[in-house]
Amino acid sequence: MKTLQTATSDQKLHQVAAEVETRIKALFGRCPELAGFAVQDLAGVSDEVNPSDDGRKLFVTDIGFSAMICQDDLEEAYNLIGTAISDVVAEEPEAFDLLRGRTFARTLH
């Protein structure tokens, strides 16, 4: 019975990882100048976590661009990244652990 549960869990994790990858690729497609960014767990870097929360909050750091951009483009990229991350975590809670502590970089071909 445990083998079936493990297989089901592994399959779900692969599906969630594929969904995260799809969202990140789409994000880089929408922001051609975006070179990369990191995702951190707020609980791991801040003492300001509200104890009444479950402590599971992600935030974006280290946004990098391949060219100079204006403040409006920076804000738009930050909002797009935040929306993509929060949407995938809302739809697939398992994505939280896949995103936490990760750095995403554009793949050059």
Under the banding of pLDDT at 50, 70 and 90, the label for residue 53 is low
For residue 39, give Cα distances in angstroms to 58, 59, 107, 109: 6, 6, 17, 24
85: containing domain: 2-105
Average pLDDT over residues 34-61: 75
CA 1/CA 4 separation, integer angstroms: 5
Pull the structure tokens for residue 69: 């951009």
Inform me whether the pLDDT recorded for 66 exceeds 90.
Answer: yes
pTM here?
A: 0.79
Residue with tokens 């936490």: 100
Domains: count for the chain: 1
